[in-house]
Homo-oligomer: A and B are copies of this chain.
């Protein structure tokens, strides 16, 4: 049982709240979510009660009072995906806090927008270092989604000379931080909001482009200009909207990689040109629906190590009490917000 200190609001939550639920119709992954449920999968809190020996991710025993980040998902260990060693996220019977784990099932408390949260056996638990405050530790899960950047670097067979981050919400910001720390050269941030572009510069963007002021073709032209005409090695598309995928394919260089990150809801179709923009250009596309179990610890460490060198304190822009969950959800979609968190036990 976890006493929640902070629980982040993720872009997926607004869709869950509205009842827009992703399905993989016709496959073993297909699912229906049963309401009511308690949202909240980006959590940090203190252990309030514990049943038997429970180990952290390092194999060390946990005790009441320990501060942890629990993994957002629990895999079954039995299905084809689990048996063949695929990322835990692909489990056919995946249980995810704040989504599939609804109030239909005792003990009901399976989301972080709550004072207490129950954790299923088998949940991976990551101990938070003392130096890492709650309002940074709460970013561990979105930061863990940036494992897609590591995969992209291998595919492009370069270190990542030029990287575009397309959409600088909390997930885009995590990708920008990761690219910056891993050594990107030109680091280009694109967003509609001036406030987000300014923040990108504080985190190391070498060029910012306003999607509000520039047409799609102009954005492409400016990216090429900044990359000796070639385009970017890696485009990290974190916009959550399908239209940016088209433009991402134009911005990336021949042989480069586009990462489609973090969107978990059907946002509709767009027209692309597979022969000209993927095949002939030798472009790679990676769909990264979420984090992996292995990505939590490095993500947490990366945050801890850069507390003094990066303005990480500023990423949580708003803290709201539990009773204001609904206005908080609205706020999370507005311009002035970066990451909005609920603080159920403040």
Which A positions have Cβ atoms within 8 angstroms of B?
22, 24, 26-29, 55, 57-60, 77-81, 83-87, 89-90, 92, 124, 154-155, 157-159, 161, 180-183, 185, 220-221, 224, 228-231, 240, 242, 245, 253-255, 260-276, 278-289, 293-295, 297-298, 301-302, 305, 309
Q: Across the interface, do A29 and B254 meet the contact criterion of CB distance under 8 Å?
A: yes
Interfacial chain B residues near A283, Cβ < 8 Å:
285, 287
Q: Across the interface, do B285 and A284 meet the contact criterion of CB distance under 8 Å?
A: yes
Q: Across the interface, do B284 and A263 meet the contact criterion of CB distance under 8 Å?
A: no
Interfacial chain B residues near A265, Cβ < 8 Å:
275, 280
What's the least CB distance linking A299 to chain B, in Å? Answer: 9
Q: Across the interface, do A272 and B275 meet the contact criterion of CB distance under 8 Å?
A: no
Interfacial chain B residues near A270, Cβ < 8 Å:
271-272, 274
A269–B26 CA distance with the chains assembled, in angstroms: 26
What's the least CB distance linking A72 to chain B, in Å? Answer: 15
Assuming A185-B301, A224-B27, is B84 touching A158 (CB within 8 A)?
yes
Q: Across the interface, do B85 and A58 meet the contact criterion of CB distance under 8 Å?
A: no
Q: Which 9 A-B pairs have the closest CB atoms?
A: A159-B298, A285-B285, A278-B287, A263-B275, A260-B279, A266-B276, A269-B271, A245-B274, A267-B275
A55–B81 CA distance with the chains assembled, in angstroms: 13
Residue in A60, A79, A85, A228 whose Cβ sees the most chain B Cβ within 10 Å: A85
Q: Across the interface, do A281 and B287 meet the contact criterion of CB distance under 8 Å?
A: yes
Interfacial chain B residues near A267, Cβ < 8 Å:
273-276
Q: Across the interface, do B294 and A84 meet the contact criterion of CB distance under 8 Å?
A: yes
A76–B159 CA distance with the chains assembled, in angstroms: 22
Assuming A26-B221, A289-B279, is B158 touching A242 (CB within 8 A)?
no
Assuming A282-B87, A284-B284, is B260 touching A159 (CB within 8 A)?
no
Chain B minimum-CB-distance residue to A278: B287
A260–B278 CA distance with the chains assembled, in angstroms: 7
Q: Across the interface, do A185 and B275 meet the contact criterion of CB distance under 8 Å?
A: no
What's the least CB distance linking A99 to chain B, in Å? Answer: 12
What's the least CB distance linking A230 to chain B, in Å? Answer: 6
A55–B264 CA distance with the chains assembled, in angstroms: 30
Interfacial chain B residues near A282, Cβ < 8 Å:
87, 89-90, 287-289
Q: Across the interface, do B183 and A281 meet the contact criterion of CB distance under 8 Å?
A: no
Q: Across the interface, do A81 and B254 meet the contact criterion of CB distance under 8 Å?
A: yes
Contact of A264 among B24, B28, B269, B280 (CB under 8 A): B280
Interfacial chain B residues near A92, Cβ < 8 Å:
59
A185–B298 CA distance with the chains assembled, in angstroms: 8
Q: Across the interface, do B157 and A255 meet the contact criterion of CB distance under 8 Å?
A: no
Interfacial chain B residues near A269, Cβ < 8 Å:
271-273
Q: Across the interface, do B254 and A90 meet the contact criterion of CB distance under 8 Å?
A: yes
Interfacial chain B residues near A272, Cβ < 8 Å:
269-272
Q: Across the interface, do B280 and A287 meet the contact criterion of CB distance under 8 Å?
A: yes
Q: List 20 A-B contacts (CB under 8 A).
A: A24-B281, A26-B224, A28-B229, A55-B78, A57-B83, A58-B228, A84-B158, A84-B294, A85-B293, A182-B182, A183-B305, A260-B279, A265-B275, A266-B276, A267-B276, A269-B271, A272-B272, A278-B285, A281-B287, A282-B289
